Homo-oligomer: A and B are copies of this chain.
Amino acid sequence: MIHDSIINPEKIVTLPIGFRDILSPHADAEAKMIDVIMSIAISHGYMRVKPTLVEFENTLFNGPGLAISEQVFRLIDPISQHMIGLRADMTTQAARIASTIMIDAPRPVRLCYAGEVLLTTTNQLNPERELVQIGAELIGNSTADADAEVILLAIESLHTVGVKSISLDIMIPALVPLVLADMRLPAEIFSAVRQAINQKDIATVERLANSKSSVLVGLLKAFGPCEEAMRALSELELPDKARDFLVRPAEVIKLITNFEPNLSITVDPAENRGFEYHTGIAFSLFARGGRNEIGRGGRYQSDKDPKSTATGFTIYLERVLQILPKHQQTPTVYIPYGTPREQSMALRTRGQITIAGLTPVVDNYAEAKRMGCKSILLNGQTIDLSQY
């Protein structure tokens, strides 16, 4: 098998920025991870769907899809002469499937999926434009148990693929907009305050919002381990509507800690970047100590029907693979030319990888080494090559 040292970086062809070929063993590791996570989701009753890679603009940008319309590669379909786009997100496709072809399926509908998404833009944090999205959605149930189910499913998935210690960050994206609306700030400072909150810039919030700033500053400071954060939040003088939004996180945290008592859970009530279409609690998943989000999700409205509330998660395959131990090439066995096929087949049946010699050679040992094999099959015996 090829080793990274054999890859010739000078011979890489130019691909568009953000695109790259995935080679062995990384391609195997990707496929394996997708398979494991899908199997777990399926065992919990999530039905696997494979939405189309291409859609007409009107369905692609429908509902929550509008939020990422700028990221979509668009082109004209030569058959219909209409604009089509390459999917940049599969959550919205699962929601579309649930609310159209599967509208008559009993609620809640549980769906899972894995596939490539393509983005037009790139940034320093996310340099890739072709990514694998793995996700699951629970559509048509508004309970805290549903929120907890998808979070626990994401955590079970990450544990099973080998992520050791996971931390969960819970956000309440609707909270800040509600508090701000209630404050009736003058229009000229509203967006400046909003920006300062997004940047967690307490000094600017205090200066701009003045006497009204204490609740906002309280929200910004109520960040950290879930118990302290929830207590700090409960002590804030929040408007009633905003206070209602504190009930759900508390319920969900309780349900999750029942099953995962050692999970590190933080609450970040003022954070809402990237969760613009979320209507309930949202969450991010980190490998403890890591700075990069490895998964995220939350509750959103999957279409205009108020009954179609949904909650789901996305796992970022590439980021999970980055933090796991590097996938090793499986050692291979060289099969000299003319070896009866039954002998090599017996090795493959036992999980070994065989490399068949296609021509007679003078020195089978040398040929096996040239092909990068760790052993050779001679007279029905596997001989380790490291001693030669």
Question: Which residues of A are interface residues toward B (Cβ below 8 A)?
Answer: 1-2, 6-9, 11-25, 27-28, 30-31, 34-35, 38, 42-45, 47-56, 59, 73-75, 77-80, 82, 84, 86, 93, 96-97, 100-106, 108-110, 113, 116, 118, 120-122, 129-130, 141, 143, 145-146, 149, 259, 332, 337, 341, 348, 351-356, 358-359, 370-372
Contacts and interface: CB of A to CB of B under 8 A. Distances in A.
Q: What number of copies of this chain does the assembly contain?
A: 2
Contact of A259 (B27, B55, B109, B341): B341
Contacts of A337: 145
A5 to B, nearest CB: 9
A156 to B, nearest CB: 9
Give the most central of A86, A105, A146: most B CB within 10 Å: A105
Nearest to A338: B145
Nearest to A359: B143
B354 A53 contact: no
A87 to B, nearest CB: 11
Contact of A54 (B45, B55, B79, B118): B118
Nearest to A149: B356
A79 B120 contact: yes
Contact of A149 (B96, B110, B358): B358
19 contacts: A1-B47, A13-B100, A17-B80, A22-B50, A27-B50, A27-B113, A31-B35, A43-B354, A45-B353, A45-B355, A53-B116, A53-B118, A53-B130, A75-B75, A79-B122, A110-B355, A145-B358, A149-B356, A149-B358
A127 B27 CA distance: 30
Nearest to A21: B51
B43 A352 contact: yes
Contacts of A47: 1-2, 23-25
Contacts of A25: 47-48
Given A15-B52, A43-B348, A145-B358, 12 more contacts: A2-B102, A2-B105, A6-B102, A13-B101, A18-B79, A25-B48, A27-B113, A35-B35, A73-B75, A79-B121, A145-B359, A149-B358
Nearest to A7: B101
Contacts of A102: 2, 6-8, 23
Nearest to A1: B47
A305 to B, nearest CB: 13
A42 B28 contact: yes
B2 A130 contact: no
B27 A48 contact: yes
Given A35-B35, A50-B27, A259-B341, A55 B348 contact: no
Nearest to A17: B79
B104 A6 contact: yes
